[in-house]
Amino acid sequence: MSGKGASWTLEDLEAVVKKAVREAVEQARSEEIKLVVDALNKLATYTFEGFKKILEVLEEHSRSLARLEVTVGRFTSRTGIDMEKMILNIYRDVLEQEGIGIWKVEKLRLKDVDGRYLRRGARLEIDIYAHDDKVYFIEVKSLVEVNDVEWFNLRCDIFEKILGRRPDRRIIVCINIFSDALERAQELGMHVIYGRVLEVEGEVRVLS
């Protein structure tokens, strides 16, 4: 370690301790003291070697966690896509009655490079059905809360500006939806296809 404000490393501490031990050995006047100092030197060496091993293990664990996060992220992404397809398949008949063929629902993605629509670098995506001069924006989720409705509404506004076209319909397709989310979606003029409405009691959301 050198320089004002420099940080101490394990090697710096080891060097300082061993230097102090050497000086103690040189100044020792009896064999008993020299034996004690020698024992301290061996203990210091053993301790610092142990610390080094621990640091190596921690570094390997950090690398393993980083690899795990990447793997989980990819798995979650794939799982989310598969879940959307499964939900669309569940409501295939209902959607076809609405004039929507699920095989024509595509995911539209963009990156807000200069922060024009949301914030710089933000990544946005939306499911879109475009066929026979009709354009539908679609949100597919297993469970919908009121914040999901607001977020979908914001994305609809953004993609409307980007495409230069107002969607003919904004549709939420879900397995479960909280009652306040359903109410908010209807207020915003969205069409909601759902399996079950979950009640909200005060601030507690009932999942029974």
pLDDT band, residue 72 (cuts 50/70/90): very low
In angstroms, the CA 91 to CA 139 distance is 13
pLDDT for 77 beyond 50? no
pLDDT for 52 beyond 90? no
Can you read off the two tokens belonging to residue 166? 């107002």
Residue ranges per domain, the chain? 10-61, 91-205
Most confidently modeled range among 36-45, 98-107, 163-172: 163-172
pLDDT band, residue 121 (cuts 50/70/90): confident
Of 80-89, 102-111, 137-146, 180-189, give the lowest mean pLDDT range. Answer: 80-89
In angstroms, what CA-CA distances link 29 with 23, 25, 34, 37, 38? 12, 9, 8, 11, 13
Residue 143 neighbours by CB under 8 Å, 6+ apart: 174, 175, 176, 177
Q: Which of 46, 57, 52 is nearest to 11 (CA)?
A: 52
| Residue 48 confidence (pLDDT) | 61
pLDDT band, residue 17 (cuts 50/70/90): low
pLDDT digits (tens, 9 = 90+) for 150-160: 999 999 999 99
Question: Span 91-205: which CATH code?
Answer: 3.40.1350.10
